[in-house]
Amino acid sequence: MDYADALQQRGTLLKLAGSPEEAEADFRSAMHIHLGRGIDGEASAIACRNDLAIALLDQNRFEEAEPILKEVLTYARRPENRDLPIHGEAVNNLGSLYLARADYQSAEPLFQEAVDVNSRLRGSPHPVLATNLDNLAQALHGLGDLTGAEVAYRKSLSMRRDLYGSEHPDVATSLHNIAVLFYAQGNVEDCEQALRESLKIFRDTYGMAHSDSLTVVDSLVSVLGAQGRLVEAETLLLDAYGAIKRAPDADVARQTAIARRLAALYSAWDKSDLSHRWTETAEHLESPPDPVSTSQSDRFVGDGAHQE
C-alpha cells in the first residue's frame, strides 16, 4: 500500500477510535505527500482535506475546519467532479459545521443539495441519504419550518427502518429527533410514544447507562414533568441514576446532572427533605474524593431511595 494511503487509513481508524488529535496528524502528513505529487495527487489530497476537516470538527475547531471544507466543496462542484461521491460528502460536511453553529440559514441549502446529489448518485434507500435527510430536517426545524422538518424526518426514519429494521440505534436516533419536533408542534402524545420507542432501542442495545439512553431519558423526563407526571419522571431518573452507579466506568457528570434533576423534581413536588438530600449528592459528586474516608460516599448514593 502507498505510504500516504496507509497514513490516511490509519487516521480514519484513529478517528473512529475517538482519537481525532492523532488522526489529524496522519491526515496532514498524507495530504502533504499527495500535494507533492501535483495534479496526479489532487484528488487524494482533497480526500485528505475532507478527512482532516472532519477530525477538526470532532475537536470543535470550527474556525479551522470551515476554510478547508469550503475548498473541498469548490473542488467537488467542478463540472467534472459533480458526479463523484465527494460532492455529496462536501456539501453535507459544510452543512454540518453550520448546523453545529446553529446557522440554519446557511446549513439548509447545503443539506438540500446533499439530498439531491445523493438521491441521484446513491439511490434510495441509502444510509448516507438517510443522514442527509435527518440533517436537513434539523436545519428546517431550526428555521421554524416544522412541516418541512416533519416530512424530512419521516423520510429519514422510514429509510433507516427499511435499511436496518426497527431495533437499530440509528432508528432510535431518528425517533428521538422527530420526538423533539412533535413536542415543538404541541403533539405531546406522539412525542412521548417516539421517545419511549427510542429509549427501548437504546436501552436494549447499549444499556441504560449509555449516553444515548440517558439523552432520551432527559427528554422524556422533561415531557412527563411538564404534564405533572412526577412519579413516572422520578422512576425514570432513579433507574438511570442506579444504572450509572452500577456501570464500571461511571459517568460522574451524568450522575451529577441526574442528581440535580431529582433535587429539582422533589422541590417541585414539595418534598424538601428529598430535594436537599439529592442536592447534597450532586455537590458530593462534584467535589474531589476524600483520600482518607472515601467510603463515606456510600451515604450519598441511592440516597434518594424512593420516596413517599
Task: Give 96-127 pLDDT, tens digit per residue.
Answer: 999 999 999 999 999 999 999 999 999 999 99
Q: Are 146 and 185 in contact (CB under 8 A)?
A: yes
Q: Tell whether the torsion through CA atoms of 72, 163, 216 and 246 is positive or negative.
A: negative
pLDDT at 294: 34
d(CA 232, CA 254): 20
pLDDT at 223: 97
Amino acid occupying residue 295? S
> Which residues, including other chains, have CB under 8 Å from residue 69's CB and lie 6 or more apart?
50, 53, 90, 93, 94, 97
Per-position pLDDT tens, the chain of length 308 = 689 899 999 999 999 999 999 999 999 999 999 989 888 889 999 999 999 999 999 999 999 999 999 999 999 999 999 999 999 999 999 999 999 999 999 999 999 999 999 999 999 999 999 999 999 999 999 999 999 999 999 999 999 999 999 999 999 999 999 999 999 999 999 999 999 999 999 999 999 999 999 999 999 999 999 999 999 999 999 999 999 999 988 889 999 999 999 999 999 999 999 999 999 999 998 875 544 333 332 322 233 334 43
pLDDT at 296: 32
pTM of the predicted model as reported, rounded to 2 decimal places: 0.85
> Which residues, including other chains, have CB under 8 Å from residue 249's CB and lie 6 or more apart?
none
Q: Name the packing angle between helices 3-16 and 42-58 (round to 10°).
A: 20
Q: How far is CA 121 from CA 47, 85, 89, 118, 175, in A?
A: 18, 7, 12, 5, 26
42: which DSSP letter?
H
What's the grid cell of residue 24? 489529524
Residue among 37, 59, 54 nearest 45 (CA): 37
d(CA 200, CA 179): 14
pLDDT at 288: 55
> Which residues, including other chains, have CB under 8 Å from residue 6's CB and lie 6 or more apart?
none
pLDDT at 38: 87
Where would I find the beta strands (DSSP E) of 159-306? none
pLDDT at 61: 94
